[in-house]
C-alpha cells in the first residue's frame, strides 16, 4: 500500500458542542452582571492643624447631628426652635428622615414651603444670606457656559450644612441622613434644570450639569465625631 493513500479516520467532533455547552453554563452561572451601586462622596483635604476654622454666621448654618441614641438633631440657622417645630411639625431633638430633605431644601433656598411645594415665605432674616449670583462655568477648552436666560439668580452662596455624628451612633442612620441631604441638592439641581433647560438634570450634557452644580454647590461639612471644627460667630 502506498503511503500517501492511507485514509486517516476523522475525529468524531460531535461531542464538542456538548462539552462547550457545559462550559458555557458554568460561566453563565459564575458571571455576576450586577453593578455595584453606592453614594459617592468626597472627603475634605487634610489641612494643617494650625489654620483657624472659618468664621460663619449663625444664620448660614444648618447643623445636623446624630446623637448617641441615633436620633437626628437639627439646629436651623437663627430660627427660633418653636417656630421651626411649628412649621415642620417635628421636634428638633428627633427629626424623622422623611422630613430632612424638605427641611434642607428650604434652608438652602431660604424659603418656607408647605409639603406640596407651595412657597409660603421668602428670604427670611433667620435663614442664609441670599446673594445675586451669576455663574460662568468654563470647560477644559476655556469655553464659557451659563444658564440660558443670562440673568443672575439669588442663591444662598455661603450657606453651610454641618453633619456631625456621635461615635456610638449607628452607621445606618448616618447613611440615611447623608442620603437625604445629598437628595436635597440633587432635587434642587433638577428643579433648576427643568426651569432653565426644560429637561431633567440627568438629560443635560456635562457642561449644563456643571452649571447647575455651581448654583447648588454641595456644602456639607462633616466634623469628626464629638468635636466641632466649625466656629460659629454670633
Partner 1 sequence: MPELNTSSLPDLIFSILFFFMIVTSMREEELKVEFKAPSGTELSKIERKTSAINLYIGTPNQSYAKQLGSGTRVQINDKFIEVYEVGKHVAEEHNTMKGDDKANMRVVLKVDAGEGTEGRRRPSTQMGVVSDVKEELREIGALSIMYSAEYDVKRNEQ
Residues lying near partner 1 in the complex (CB under 8 A): 13, 16-17, 20-21, 23-24, 27-28, 30-33, 35-46, 66, 165-176, 178-179, 182-183, 186, 224-225
* Least CB distance to partner 1 at residue 6 (A): 25
Rounded CA gap, 45 and 24, in Å? Answer: 48
Is 217 or 224 the residue whose CB approaches partner 1 more closely? 224
Asked whether 68 and 166 are in contact (CB, 8 A), the reply is yes
Residue whose entry in the numeric block shows the C-alpha cell 426652635: 81
* Least CB distance to partner 1 at residue 86 (A): 26
* Least CB distance to partner 1 at residue 202 (A): 10
Query: What are the Cα distances from residue 44, in Å, to 16, 47, 49?
Result: 57, 9, 14
Exposure string of 92-108, with b = 16+ CB inside 10 Å and e = fewer, is beebeeebbbbbbbbbb
Rounded CA gap, 190 and 199, in Å? Answer: 8
Is 2 or 29 the residue whose CB approaches partner 1 more closely? 29
* Least CB distance to partner 1 at residue 163 (A): 11
Is 97 or 134 the residue whose CB approaches partner 1 more closely? 97
Phi, psi of 137 (to 5 degrees): -100, 125
DSSP state of 11: P
Is 63 or 130 the residue whose CB approaches partner 1 more closely? 63
* Least CB distance to partner 1 at residue 79 (A): 26
Is 69 or 154 the residue whose CB approaches partner 1 more closely? 69
Amino acid at each position: 500500500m502506498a503511503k500517501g493513500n492511507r485514509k486517516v479516520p476523522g475525529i468524531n467532533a460531535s461531542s464538542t458542542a456538548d462539552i462547550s455547552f457545559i462550559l458555557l453554563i458554568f460561566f453563565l452561572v459564575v458571571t455576576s452582571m450586577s453593578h455595584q451601586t453606592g453614594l459617592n462622596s468626597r472627603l475634605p483635604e487634610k489641612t494643617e492643624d494650625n489654620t483657624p476654622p472659618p468664621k460663619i454666621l449663625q444664620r448660614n448654618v444648618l447643623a445636623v447631628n446624630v446623637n448617641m441614641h441615633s436620633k437626628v438633631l437639627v439646629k436651623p440657622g437663627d430660627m427660633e426652635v418653636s417656630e421651626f417645630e411649628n412649621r415642620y411639625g417635628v421636634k428638633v431633638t428627633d427629626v424623622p428622615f422623611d422630613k430632612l430633605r424638605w427641611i434642607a431644601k428650604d434652608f438652602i433656598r431660604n424659603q418656607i414651603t408647605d409639603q406640596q411645594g407651595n412657597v409660603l415665605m421668602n428670604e427670611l432674616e433667620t435663614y442664609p444670606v441670599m446673594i445675586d449670583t451669576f455663574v460662568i462655568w468654563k470647560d477644559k477648552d476655556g469655553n464659557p457656559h451659563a444658564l440660558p436666560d443670562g440673568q443672575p439668580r439669588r442663591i444662598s452662596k455661603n450657606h453651610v450644612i454641618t453633619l456631625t455624628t456621635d461615635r456610638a451612633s449607628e452607621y445606618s442612620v448616618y447613611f440615611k441622613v447623608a442620603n437625604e441631604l445629598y437628595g436635597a441638592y440633587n432635587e434642587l439641581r433638577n428643579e433648576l434644570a427643568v426651569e432653565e433647560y426644560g429637561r431633567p438634570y440627568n438629560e443635560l450634557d456635562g457642561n449644563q450639569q456643571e452649571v447647575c452644580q455651581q448654583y447648588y454647590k454641595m456644602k456639607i461639612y462633616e466634623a469628626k465625631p464629638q468635636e466641632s471644627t466649625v466656629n460659629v460667630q454670633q
